[in-house]
C-alpha cells in the first residue's frame, strides 16, 4: 500500500526513513559470480568474451567490434523522426556541457609563488549501454556527449545484442554523439574487458553508464583499476506540488519514474490533503491504461509515498532527507525554494517542467545520483571526464622553503628538509 505521511505525526522521521529504506531488499550474491567472470576475461580475453556472449545473449560473435559498415546499416534503420529528435537533443546536451567547461587559472600570490590549476581530458572512456529492445538511446547521448565536449580522445561503447537484437536508435545515437568504437558485448564480461582489455579491445581509464546488478557489481570490483561514475540504483522522483496543478499532470509525473522499475520510488509532497487524494485517484486511473502498469503499480504500491506538510517551507528538510535523484518544484515561484535545496540530483522548476523533459532533451545529463547519494555527489557532467592538476612555482630562495623545512623536521622527514634547505 502506498505510504501516506503527515509531517505533524509524532513518528514522522522514522516513518519517512522506513519509506526510503523500503527498497533495501536483500541483494542476491552476485559478487562471487562477477569475480569469476572478471578473472576469466583477464585470463582468456576474447575467447571468454565470445563464450559469455553465447551463453547469456545467445549470439555467436565472429567479431566483437562493429564495423563501420555495420554501424552505418544499423543507424540507417533508425526511424527518421527519432533520428531528428536525437539530433535536437544532442545539440542541446552539447551546448549545455560546452558552457559548463571550466577554465585553467594561474596567478602569483603575495609571497611570489605561482599557483593555479589546469584541466586535461581523460585519455579514454568506456560507456556501458543496456542492449535489446529495452535499451535507451537517450542514455547514449547523456553519457557520451559530455565526454566528447571534455575532449576525451577515445570513447568506447559496449552494448549487448541479446538474440541478435540491435537497437537502431542506440547505434544512431552513438554515431550522432561521436562514439569512436562500438562492441557488441555486455554484462560483467564487458566491464572486465573495458577495465583490463583483451585482444580485440584496448582498456579504458574510466567506465560510465547503467546496467543490471551484475554490471553494477563489476563496476564496483574494477574500481581502482579504472574510475567509474557511480553505482546506480533504481530511479526516483520527488514532486513538490500545490493544488494549482491538474492532478493528472502530477500523477503522470510520479508514474514516469515508477514505470522504470519495480524498485523505483515516486513521492509526492503537498500542502493540500484533498489534492493528495485527487492525485492518488489519477494515479489509479493511469495505471489502468499504462502499458507498463504491472511494473509501475508494484513501484507505487510498495515504495511510493504521499506526504502532507503545513507549508512549502516545511518541505525543505524533507527534501534534504530524501536527497532525490529528480526533484520537481511544481509550485508558484519555484525560484524562491530552489536556492534552499541542498540535496538533489536535478531540480525541475515550475509546473510546466516535467521531469521527463530532463530525461531527453533539456540539456543537462540525466545520469544522476540515486539512493540518497545526492547528499554527497552530483550528476554526470564534463567534470567527470577531465582531470584537474595543481600548479606550483616557487621563486628563488623563497622564505617559504625554510618554513616548510621546519615542518619537515617536525615530521621527522630529513630528506624533505634537506631538499628544501639546499635551495635557501
Active site residues: 325-326
Compute the distance between CA of residue 354 and CA of residue 377 in angstroms, rounded to an integer.
23
Residue keyed to cell 634537506: 418
> 237 and 324 in contact (C-beta within 8 Å)?
yes
Compute the distance between CA of residue 285 and CA of residue 279 in angstroms, rounded to an integer.
10
| CA 243 remoteness from chain centre | 32
Backbone angles phi, psi at 289, to 5 degrees: -125, -10
Compute the distance between CA of residue 306 and CA of residue 402 in angstroms, rounded to an integer.
63
Helix (H) or strand (E) holding 284: helix 273-287
Choose among 319, 315, 318: nearest CA to 327: 319
User: 81 burial class (0-12, 13-18, 19+ CB within 10 angstroms)?
Assistant: exposed
Compute the distance between CA of residue 51 and CA of residue 75 in angstroms, rounded to an integer.
27
Choose among 200, 222, 205, 206: nearest CA to 48: 200
| CA 5 remoteness from chain centre | 29
Other CB atoms within a 10 A radius of the CB of residue 315 amount to: 24
> 276 and 304 in contact (C-beta within 8 Å)?
no
> 311 and 271 in contact (C-beta within 8 Å)?
yes
| CA 275 remoteness from chain centre | 32
Compute the distance between CA of residue 206 and CA of residue 61 in angstroms, rounded to an integer.
25
User: Cell numbers of 246, please?
Assistant: 491538474
Backbone angles phi, psi at 121, to 5 degrees: -70, 150
DSSP for 312-356, please give it. STTHHHHHHHH--SEEEEESSSHHHHGGG--S-SEEEESTT--HH
Pairing between strand 114-121 and 105-108? antiparallel
Amino acid at each position: 500500500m502506498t505510504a501516506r505521511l503527515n509531517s505533524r505525526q509524532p513518528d514522522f522521521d522514522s516513518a519517512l526513513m522506513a519509506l526510503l529504506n523500503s527498497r533495501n531488499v536483500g541483494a542476491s550474491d552476485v559478487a562471487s559470480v562477477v569475480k569469476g567472470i572478471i578473472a576469466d576475461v583477464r585470463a582468456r580475453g576474447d575467447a571468454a568474451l565470445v563464450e559469455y556472449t553465447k551463453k547469456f545473449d545467445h549470439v555467436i560473435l565472429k567479431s566483437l567490434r562493429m564495423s563501420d559498415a555495420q554501424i552505418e546499416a544499423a543507424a540507417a534503420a533508425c526511424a527518421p523522426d527519432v533520428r531528428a529528435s536525437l539530433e535536437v537533443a544532442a545539440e542541446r546536451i552539447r551546448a549545455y556541457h560546452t558552457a559548463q567547461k571550466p577554465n585553467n587559472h594561474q596567478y602569483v600570490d603575495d609571497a611570489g609563488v605561482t599557483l593555479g590549476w589546469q584541466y586535461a581530458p581523460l585519455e579514454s572512456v568506456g560507456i556501458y549501454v543496456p542492449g535489446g529492445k529495452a535499451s535507451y538511446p537517450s542514455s547514449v547521448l547523456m553519457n557520451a556527449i559530455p565526454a566528447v565536449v571534455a575532449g576525451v580522445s577515445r570513447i568506447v561503447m559496449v552494448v549487448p545484442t541479446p538474440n541478435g537484437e540491435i537497437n537502431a536508435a542506440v547505434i544512431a545515437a552513438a554515431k550522432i554523439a561521436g562514439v569512436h568504437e562500438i562492441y557488441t558485448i555486455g554484462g560483467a564480461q564487458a566491464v572486465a574487458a573495458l577495465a583490463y582489455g583483451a585482444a580485440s579491445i584496448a582498456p579504458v581509464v574510466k567506465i560510465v553508464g547503467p546496467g543490471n546488478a551484475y554490471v553494477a557489481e563489476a563496476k564496483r570490483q574494477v574500481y581502482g583499476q579504472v574510475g567509474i561514475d557511480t553505482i546506480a540504483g533504481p530511479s526516483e522522483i520527488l514532486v513538490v506540488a500545490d493544488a494549482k496543478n491538474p492532478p493528472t499532470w502530477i500523477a503522470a509525473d510520479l508514474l514516469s519514474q515508477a514505470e522504470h522499475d519495480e524498485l523505483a520510488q515516486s513521492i509526492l509532497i503537498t500542502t493540500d490533503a484533498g489534492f493528495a487524494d485527487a492525485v492518488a485517484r489519477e494515479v489509479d486511473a493511469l495505471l489502468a491504461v499504462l502499458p507498463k502498469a504491472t511494473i509501475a503499480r508494484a513501484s507505487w504500491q510498495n515504495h511510493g509515498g504521499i506526504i502532507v506538510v503545513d507549508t512549502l517551507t516545511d518541505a525543505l528538510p524533507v527534501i534534504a532527507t530524501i536527497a532525490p535523484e529528480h526533484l520537481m518544484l511544481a509550485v508558484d515561484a519555484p525560484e524562491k525554494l530552489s536556492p534552499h535545496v541542498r540535496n538533489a540530483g536535478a531540480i525541475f522548476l515550475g509546473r510546466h517542467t516535467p521531469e521527463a523533459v530532463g530525461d531527453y532533451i533539456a540539456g543537462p545529463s540525466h545520469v544522476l545520483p540515486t539512493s540518497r547519494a545526492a547528499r554527497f555527489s552530483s550528476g554526470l557532467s564534463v567534470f567527470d571526464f577531465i582531470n584537474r592538476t595543481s600548479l606550483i612555482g616557487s621563486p628563488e630562495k623563497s622564505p617559504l622553503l625554510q618554513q616548510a623545512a621546519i615542518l619537515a623536521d617536525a615530521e621527522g622527514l630529513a630528506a624533505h628538509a634537506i631538499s628544501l634547505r639546499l635551495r635557501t
